[in-house]
Amino acid sequence: MAQTNYTKFEPGQLWLDNNGVHINAHGGGFLFHDGTYYWFGEHKISGKLGNKAMVGVHAYSSKDLYNWKDEGIALSMSNDPKSKLIKGCILERPKVIYNKKIKKFVMWFHHELKDQGYSAALTGVAVSDNVTGPYIYQDSFRLHGGILPLNFTKQQFDKAEIIENDSDPNKKQKVIDGAYFKRDFETGQMSRDMTLFVDEDGTAYHITASEENQTLLISKLSDDYLSVTDDYIRAFPGGRNEAPAVFKKDDKYYMFTSGLTGWKPNPAKLSVSDSMLGNWKSLGNPCIGTDEEKAVTFWSQSTYVLPVEGRNNSFIFIADRWRPENAIDGRYIWLPIQFENNIPVLKWVSSWGLSVFKN
């Protein structure tokens, strides 16, 4: 099939690559490197096994954001039964950042072990000398075993009560107070939906849903981006957030998240902070539209916020419209982030181009 030359975005529609095939990069992350954009996402297959990692992480490249070239599989699943990354495990939301110090591309992702559902709750790391791969799998692990967050004292930890059963009437307060955190303190904290954010000074952060998806953890990465440091916080404990996507504007940090409804969409949430490891404040639902649109974030779930190169304060909200019954047919929702009274808002636009950004 001949290449389709796109000149605009059409959220929710089929989006064909240079081979005429619907782009297969779900839960995606993006990197701008040496004048080219790269899109990394979950390669899905059709049918019941679609949400298992049967192939790996797919990469695409683009000069204009509209038209994408298939760059193949950046990280391949293993056939070795001894590997954690064996074909048939779960690999979600891959994100890639470039480390100038070690001159390598570093990929992080949410990883669940084969045939264990979502119980492992690991974060994984892979590394490559080349942006499109092949990425070499390093390891997958839980976070911060035996380490207290910057915003959670030893006194608070000692007071926290571990939940003995899910019908505990005080469950929510106990979660806020650190019940799941305390339960997992020695073995390490859970990591599910995650993203990465690199600040202007090169400091990188890992943001993830933890504590049975009840609390977000925001962790500063090491200088080589290959591990987390001991500097981290619990954000919105008990707040039930997942699908984090972070960006920075005018020295403020913004984060989109979603609630917890499985594959079904729900109202988006927006929060703001003066620093990544600071005090995050909720700004409510960023969507402007009909009640139905606001209730389901235009039938999508956030995965990334992409700054547009060469255009100041221009950002694209990137989300997935999941189709779990046939995951390969999942669609992409790209919307321009608009600002009203300096607050990010999202409005449905069925067809749009980069010219919507002022500069």
What pLDDT digit, counting tens, does each position of 145-154 carry?
A: 999 999 999 9
Token pair 């207290």: residue: 148
Average pLDDT for residues 57-62, to the nearest whole number?
A: 98
**Banded model confidence at residue 1, pLDDT cuts 50, 70, 90:** very low
Report, as an integer, the average pLDDT of 8-12.
98
Report the b/e string of 21-44 with b at 16+ CB within 10 A: eebbbbbbbbbeeeeebbbbbbbb
Q: Which residue's entry shows tokens 């990591």?
A: 191
- Looking at the domain assignment, is residue 60 inside a domain? yes
Q: How far apart are CA 257 and CA 255, in angstroms?
A: 6
Q: Using a pLDDT cut of 90, give the percent of the chain over it.
A: 96
Mean pLDDT, rounded, for 18-22: 96
Q: Which of 251, 199, 198, 241 is nearest to 216 (CA)?
A: 241
Coil vs helix vs strand at 264: coil
User: How many whole angstroms separate alpha carbon 22 and alpha carbon 33?
Assistant: 24
123 pLDDT more than 50: yes
Residue 12 domain-assigned (yes or no): no
In a domain? residue 234? yes
Task: State the pLDDT at residue 194.
Answer: 98
* Average pLDDT estimate for 53-74: 98
pLDDT at site 358: 81
Specify the residue for token string 């960006």. 247
Q: What pLDDT, on a 0 to 100 scale, did the predictor assign at position 24?
A: 98
Residue 231's pLDDT is 98
Whole-structure pTM over 0.85, yes or no?
yes
Residue 138 lies in a domain: yes
Averaged pLDDT score across all residues of the chain: 96
3 assigned to some structural domain: no
Mean pLDDT of 331-349: 97
Q: What integer is the mean pLDDT of 124-138?
A: 98
For residues 59 and 155, what is the distance between their CA atoms, to the nearest angstrom?
46
User: Confidence class of residue 359 from pLDDT cuts 50, 70 and 90?
Assistant: low
Asked whether the CA dihedral 297, 300, 306, 311 is positive or negative, the reply is negative
Phi/psi of residue 166, nearest 5 degrees: -70, -10
5 within domain boundaries: no
88 torsion bin: left (phi>0), alpha (psi -120 to 50), beta (else): left
CATH number at residue 159: 2.115.10.20
pLDDT in tens, 189-227: 999 999 999 999 999 999 999 999 999 999 999 999 999
Average pLDDT over residues 117-144: 98
Asked if the model's pLDDT at residue 3 lies above 60, the reply is no
18 domain residue, yes or no: no
Query: What is the average pLDDT across 265-270?
Result: 98
Order of strands, edge to edge, in the sheet holding 269-273?
242-249, 252-258, 269-273, 281-284
* DSSP strand pairing (215-221 vs 136-141): unpaired
Cα distances (angstroms) measured from residue 297 to each of 75, 248, 258, 339:
30, 21, 9, 17
Establish if 49 belongs to a structural domain.
Answer: yes
Give the domain extent around 321. 26-356
Nearest to residue 271, comparing CAs of 307, 245, 250, 237? 245
Query: How far is residue 324's CA from residue 315's CA, in Å, rounded to a whole number?
Result: 28
What pLDDT score was predicted for residue 167? 87
Instruction: State the pLDDT at residue 145.
Output: 98
- CA–CA–CA angle 52, 58, 59 (5° rounding): 160
Per-residue confidence at 165, pLDDT binned at 50, 70, 90?
Answer: confident
Q: Give the count of domains, the chain.
A: 1
- 43 backbone dihedrals φ, ψ, rounded to 5°: -80, 115
Mean pLDDT throughout 94-101?
Answer: 98
Joined together, the tokens standing for residue 314 give 């221009």
DSSP state of 164: S
